[in-house]
Amino acid sequence: MKRLLLFSLLVAAACLAQAKPFYSYDLHGTVTGDPNGAAALSDVDIGDEFVIRLNVWARNSPDHKVAFHGVVGDWAFQQQHTSAFYIFGDDSPERFYTSGSYSPINPPAGNGSQVYPYDIYLTLYGMDETGTVNIPEDDWFVRDSGEINLDRFRSGGFHFWFFNQLHGDYYGTEEDLYGEISRIVEVPAPGSFVLVVLGLMFLGIRGVAKRAG
């Protein structure tokens, strides 16, 4: 009876560990442009792959709290905290997009230049392209809980906006780096499976020790 009670407690703890306050997703894609923006950077080039880890919290009217960090080419940027909005039915495509970041951005290395980051933006598009469809709540691309309905993902984009100043030059130019998000993968909650396995191991070890004694 005690062993059954202990196992039940471990399963309950696993469920609690799984109930984290946000949903996590990996956004996979490829750098697509702008040629001038890519040429200004030594860490990133057109055609480079990127992976961005996106965490989405439940909607707090009218927006969702989000955080994201990732690796674009050879540039790893630190976590950004911002807000994101899910919009549909406004005569524009169904979309989920971030506003300006609240966090400092560590810049990629310049190509003979100094890079001064302005902002990073993410945009994800749902299946409705017309903006005239009244989508039932169960079919929303991004639910109020923060869960992304992956079956409704159509496409997405990454945008890094920065100022580039060549070494020794008094002037510089505003540049843009774009990427296409082609795939979203949900990141499973950590801890639950590990806790259950450890619980089973613990109970097994106790049973062997009891029989040996």
pLDDT in tens, 121-152: 999 999 999 999 999 989 999 999 999 999 99
Whether residue 148 is found in the same domain as residue 206: no
* Cα 189–Cα 194–Cα 197 angle in degrees, nearest 5: 140
Provide the residue-wise pLDDT of the chain in tens; the chain has 213 residues: 545 444 444 444 444 445 579 999 999 999 999 999 999 999 999 999 999 999 999 998 899 999 999 999 999 999 999 999 999 999 999 999 999 899 999 999 999 999 999 999 999 999 999 999 999 989 999 999 999 999 999 999 999 999 999 999 989 999 999 999 999 999 998 655 554 554 555 455 455 445 555
Domain with 38, as residue range(s), is: 23-188
The pTM for the full model equals 0.81
Whether residue 213 is found in the same domain as residue 152: no
The answer to whether the Cα torsion of 54, 175, 34, 169 is positive or negative is negative
Q: Are 5 and 208 in contact (CB under 8 A)?
A: no
Q: For the chain, what is the domain count?
A: 2
Whether residue 105 is found in the same domain as residue 199: no
Whether residue 138 is found in the same domain as residue 202: no
Q: How far apart are CA 116 and CA 109, in angstroms?
A: 10
Q: Are 95 and 156 in contact (CB under 8 A)?
A: no
Whether residue 177 is found in the same domain as residue 122: yes
Whether residue 4 is found in the same domain as residue 34: no
Indicate the SS3 state at residue 78.
Answer: strand
- Helix %, strand %, coil % of the chain (to 5): 25, 45, 35
Whether residue 168 is found in the same domain as residue 198: no
Whether residue 79 is found in the same domain as residue 146: yes
Whether residue 6 is found in the same domain as residue 27: no
Q: Are 16 and 195 in contact (CB under 8 A)?
A: no
Whether residue 57 is found in the same domain as residue 144: yes
Whether residue 89 is found in the same domain as residue 27: yes
Whether residue 79 is found in the same domain as residue 91: yes
